Amino acid sequence: MPLKKCTVDGKAGYQWGDAGKCYTGPGAKKQAIRQGVAIEGPKKFSQMAQIDQLITSEEDVKIVADAMHEAGHDIGSIVALAATLRSQAVYDGYRTTSMVMDREGYGHFHTFKKDDDHTSKARTNFGDIIITGHVHEIIDGVIQEAHGHTHEIRDIGPGEGWVYGD
C-alpha cells in the first residue's frame, strides 16, 4: 500500500511509498496524500486508491481534490476523481470487501453484514449494485472464491475496526 505509517525521531507520521519523506505532526497524512497525487498523477492515484482503499473519509477526498486544484488540474477531472473516491463509502452497518479490478480497469466490491452467509451482489466503484453481478459465499468469516477471484475483508469508514464474529 503506497500510503504508509512511519516514524521519525520517535514521532508517528505518514509517507508515500517506501522511499517517500515521512511527514509528522498535524497535517502529516495530508502532506503524504498530496505527495502521492503529485508523484502518481490523478488517474494512477485513483486506481491505487480504489485497489488499496487509501481514501477512508470525506476529509481525505478533500485533500486529494485540493492537491489536484493546486497542481492545476481542470475542474472536470477533480470532480470525477472525487466522485470515484467517494464511491468507497461504507454503508452504515455493513462491512466491505477489497476492490477487484477487471480487465477493462473497472472495479467492484461487495457489502455484507456481520451474520450474513453471502455478500451482496457485486457493486460498482460508484456503489451501485450490478443487477447481473455475482455474490460470494462467506464460510467461517472467510469470503469464498467466485467467478475466478476472491476478496479480502477491508472495512473502511464506519465499519473500521469492527472484527468479524463479534
pLDDT digits (tens, 9 = 90+) for 7-28: 999 999 999 888 789 999 998 9
pLDDT band at residue 160 under the 50/70/90 scheme: very low
Query: What are the tens digits of pLDDT across the range 37-66?
Result: 888 888 788 777 766 666 667 788 888 888
pLDDT computed for residue 17 by the predictor: 86
Query: Whole-prediction pTM value?
Result: 0.52
Rounded Cα gap, residues 77 and 139, in angstroms: 41
Rounded Cα gap, residues 65 and 155, in angstroms: 23
pLDDT computed for residue 56 by the predictor: 63
pLDDT computed for residue 145 by the predictor: 92
Query: What are the tens digits of pLDDT across the range 102-148?
Result: 666 677 888 888 788 998 888 776 666 777 788 999 998 888 998 88
Residue 165 in this model has a pLDDT that exceeds 50: no
